[in-house]
Amino acid sequence: MPWTYRQASREWSAFLTEARSAMNLESDNATYTAVEGVLRAFRRRLTPQQAIDFAQVLPSVLRALFVADWKLDEGPLPPGSRSDWTAEAMALRPHHNLTPPNCVEATALALRKAVLREDLYRVLATLPPFATDFWSTPGIDPATLGPGIV
C-alpha cells in the first residue's frame, strides 16, 4: 500500500498546519478555502493531462482536493500572473473567504514541504513554464523543503 494512502491523515494535517502558519490564519476551515482557491487557480491553467500528471506527485488528500469539482470542458486559461492567481483564490466563496494576499506563496511553501523535491521538479519540468513560477518559494532555503513525514 502506498505510504500516502496509509498516512493520509498525517500528511494532510502536516500540510494544513504549514499552510495555516504561512498564511497566519486561525482556522483549518479558512486555510482549506485558501488552499482550494490556489489549487483551482493553478489547475485552470493546465490541460487535463497536465493536471493529472501534477496530481500524481501530491499527497493523497491534497490530490483529491486538487481534482475535486473539476469541470473538464473548461479549456486552460492563459498563464496569468501571481496577482491573477491570488485574486482567483481570494474570490472563491467570497462571502466567507479570509484568504490572505500571500496565499499562493504560502501554499507553495506548504506544498514543497509535503512533496519530494525530485518528484516536484520532475513534473514541473513537463508543465508550461508558468508552473515553476507558480510553485516557487524565493528566499527559502531548499534544504528546509521536502516532506517531514517519510
Amino acid at 129: P
Q: Show me where the domains of the chain are located.
A: 3-68+77-136
Q: Distance (Å, rounded) from C-alpha 19 to C-alpha 13?
A: 10
Q: Tens of pLDDT along the chain (150 residues)?
A: 777 778 889 999 999 999 999 999 999 999 999 999 999 999 999 999 999 999 999 999 999 999 999 988 887 999 999 999 999 999 998 888 899 999 999 999 999 999 999 999 999 999 999 999 999 998 988 888 888 765
The third-level CATH classification (topology) of the domain covering 3-68+77-136 is: Globin-like (1.10.490)
pTM listed for this prediction = 0.94
Q: Cell numbers of 27, please?
A: 482556522
Q: Cell numbers of 88, please?
A: 482567483
Angle in degrees, CA 14, 116, 146, rounded to 5: 55
